């Protein structure tokens, strides 16, 4: 009887089995990596877009009361909750919370009404209105609604607080602070504030 040298059919099958197990293991690792990194990158992109849009919203808020002498809450700036005016009392520390803010400004001798409205899906709209601060109409979406289940999403909250505040880089004191409260992808709330220097 002759001795067999080299590769036998059994050793080929064992090698094929081992390489198949290694390949399946690598595919499972790849799948798990993709399942964890893709949603994380989408969440971070979404959060970045929302924070960037909040900066735009705060830039718009700086127009509130511009060019109007003795601009005041209720006359030139209003917080609404489902189209109902929310009072902001005179004492320091008073708070008004709603889903819409509208304001008047005087741009080159023309009174304009603009604002922001939060929708129930976590989005934020830029709105226009008439000079009586009525007929509120959405014009552009600033913050996209959350990509996550709407059961878990809290709408953006708009809060006006009557308190002394100082905007960054300006030596003028404001008397009303507007805060936008936004939920991020990790379900934490971010408070982003603007000092309204044009209001008394």
Q: Assess if residue 179 is contained within a domain.
A: yes
Domain ranges, residue 61: 42-196
Per residue in 112-127, pLDDT (tens digit) is 999 999 988 888 899 9
**CA end-to-end span of the chain, whole Å?**
108
Q: Assess if residue 71 is contained within a domain.
A: yes
Q: Assess if residue 70 is contained within a domain.
A: yes
Comparison of pLDDT for 45 and 23, the residue scoring more: 23
Mean pLDDT within 59-68: 91
Q: Assess if residue 157 is contained within a domain.
A: yes
**Which CA distances in Å does 109 have to 61, 146, 181?**
19, 39, 33
The count of structural domains within the chain is 1
Q: Assess if residue 117 is contained within a domain.
A: yes
Q: Assess if residue 77 is contained within a domain.
A: yes
Name the nearest CA neighbour of 60 among 3, 131, 143: 143
> Of all helices (H) and strands (E), which one includes residue 33?
helix 9-61
Share of the chain above pLDDT 90, in %: 30
pLDDT at 135: 92
Name the nearest CA neighbour of 54 among 150, 139, 126, 148: 126
Output the CA angle 64-120-189, nearest 5 degrees: 75
Per residue in 95-109, pLDDT (tens digit) is 899 999 999 999 888
């Amino acid at each position: 009887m002759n001795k067999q040298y080299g590769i036998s059919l059994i050793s080929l099958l064992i090698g094929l089995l081992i390489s198949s197990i290694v390949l399946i293991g690598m595919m499972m690792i790849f799948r798990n990596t993709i399942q964890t990194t893709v949603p994380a990158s989408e969440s971070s992109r979404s959060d970045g877009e929302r924070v960037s849009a909040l900066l735009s919203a705060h830039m718009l808020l700086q127009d509130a009361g511009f060019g109007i002498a003795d601009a005041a809450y209720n006359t030139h700036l209003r917080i609404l909750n489902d189209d109902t005016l929310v009072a902001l009392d005179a004492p320091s520390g008073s708070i008004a919370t709603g889903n819409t803010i509208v304001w008047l400004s005087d741009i080159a001798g023309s009174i304009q009404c603009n604002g922001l409205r939060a929708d129930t899906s976590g989005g934020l709209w830029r709105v226009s209105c008439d000079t009586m601060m009525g007929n509120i109409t959405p014009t552009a979406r600033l913050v996209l609604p959350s990509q996550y289940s709407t059961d878990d999403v809290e709408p953006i909250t708009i809060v006006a607080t009557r308190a002394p505040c100082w905007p960054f880089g300006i030596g003028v004191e404001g008397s009303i602070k507007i805060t936008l409260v936004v939920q991020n992808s990790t379900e934490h709330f971010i408070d982003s504030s603007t000092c309204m220097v044009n209001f008394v």
